[in-house]
């Protein structure tokens, strides 16, 4: 029966995808994503507390659903791994069945989001269940599953609030106009200026290090690859490229501003999973053998 429901659920997602195109991420930007998440979690919690015996609740927290949703996520990831993933503009120009199903930007396809939604609902349910009832390896279970939930949740819901902007910055020309990946321009509320730029080379001529001294609003910062500058909460500035042909004489460099207010929740999830992975190694499989009966 489970397979019939899930097939129906995914077919519905596919029909919505065919009718409406990819999921409108910008629609669920803050605060709508928070509102939606709170309602969703509240409903799951109600279901778990008040109608645990119902077939739907049992479906949501059964291990078989976990296995099925991981399997579906593998299938979805295979599509992402085998089809070239394009920007929204490029993907819109593709034609054919695969393009209609959103395979060229599958991360925002309704089908993929439906799979993620199923997995996250299942993860939330089993986390509730483990919190109340689990006896063995409880911390390991909670860290791994709740950590994954937090990281995926923040990645998925947070993506509508995430902005990645690029700014070409010329020496002596302060700028505040940035562009997103689709070329739409944005005005930053602070000004940037390139003070100086330097490249160091290996004996074989390839660049070993490049750095830019910049002014960001009232802050002075040294930007390097792997060393972004944290301008304010949830907003980091990166040095991405420069005029490779001119090297030290480069007249400009390209900065990237990433505004990601949800990053702290993602880091919390990642750290929890790191701790969970360490426990997975230390305790190994033995303690879980008894769980077959649960």
Residues making contact with other proteins (CB under 8 A): 63-64, 66-67, 70-71, 73-74, 77-78, 80-85, 107, 151, 155, 162, 164, 202-204, 206-210, 224-228, 236, 238, 256, 258, 260, 263, 266-267, 270, 273-274, 276-278, 280-281, 284-285, 288, 291-292
Copy the structure tokens of residue 171.
Answer: 């020496």
Least spacing, CB of residue 188 vs other proteins, in Å: 15
How distant, in Å, are the alpha carbons of 100, 103, 264 from that of 18?
A: 6, 12, 35
Residue with smaller CB distance to other proteins, 217 or 234: 234
Helices (H), the chain: 2-20, 32-50, 55-61, 63-82, 88-93, 97-100, 110-133, 138-158, 263-283
Residue with smaller CB distance to other proteins, 23 or 43: 23
Q: Which helix (H) or strand (E) holds 52?
A: none
Residue with smaller CB distance to other proteins, 187 or 292: 292
Taken in order 104, 2, 53, 285, the sign of the CA dihedral is negative
Least spacing, CB of residue 205 vs other proteins, in Å: 9
Residue with smaller CB distance to other proteins, 46 or 227: 227
In this structure, are strands 235-242 and 207-216 parallel, antiparallel, or unpaired? unpaired
Least spacing, CB of residue 140 vs other proteins, in Å: 10
Least spacing, CB of residue 209 vs other proteins, in Å: 6
Least spacing, CB of residue 164 vs other proteins, in Å: 6
Specify the residue for token string 């002596």: 172
For the purposes of burial, counting CB atoms within 10 Å of the CB of 174, is it exposed (0-12), middle (13-18) or buried (19 or more)? Answer: exposed
Residue with smaller CB distance to other proteins, 54 or 230: 230
């Amino acid at each position: 029966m489970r397979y019939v429901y899930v097939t129906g659920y995914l077919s519905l997602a596919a029909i919505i995808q065919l009718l409406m195109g990819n999921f409108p991420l910008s629609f669920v930007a803050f605060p709508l994503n928070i509102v939606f998440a709170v309602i969703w979690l509240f409903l799951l919690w109600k279901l778990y507390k008040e109608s645990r015996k119902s077939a739907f609740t049992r479906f949501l927290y059964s291990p078989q659903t976990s296995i099925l949703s991981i399997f579906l996520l593998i299938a979805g990831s295979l599509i992402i791994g085998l089809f070239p993933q394009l920007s929204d503009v490029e993907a819109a120009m593709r034609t054919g069945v695969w393009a209609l199903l959103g395979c060229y930007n599958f991360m925002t396809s309704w089908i993929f989001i439906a799979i993620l939604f199923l997995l996250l609902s299942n993860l939330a349910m089993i986390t509730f269940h483990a919190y109340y009832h689990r006896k063995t390896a409880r911390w390991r279970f909670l860290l791994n599953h709740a950590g994954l939930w937090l990281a995926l949740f923040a990645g998925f819901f947070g993506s509508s609030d995430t902005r990645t902007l690029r700014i070409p910055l010329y020496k002596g020309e302060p700028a505040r106009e940035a562009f997103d990946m689709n070329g739409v321009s944005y005005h930053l509320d602070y000004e940037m200026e390139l003070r100086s730029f330097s490249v160091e080379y290996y004996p074989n001529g390839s660049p070993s290090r490049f750095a830019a001294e910049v002014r960001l609003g009232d802050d002075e910062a040294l930007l390097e690859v792997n060393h972004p500058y944290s301008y304010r909460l949830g907003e980091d500035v990166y040095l991405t490229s420069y005029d490779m042909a001119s090297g030290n004489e480069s007249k400009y460099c390209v900065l990237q501003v990433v505004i990601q207010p949800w990053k702290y929740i993602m880091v919390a999830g990642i750290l929890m999973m790191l701790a969970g992975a360490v426990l997975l190694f230390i305790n190994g499989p033995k303690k879980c053998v008894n769980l077959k009966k649960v």
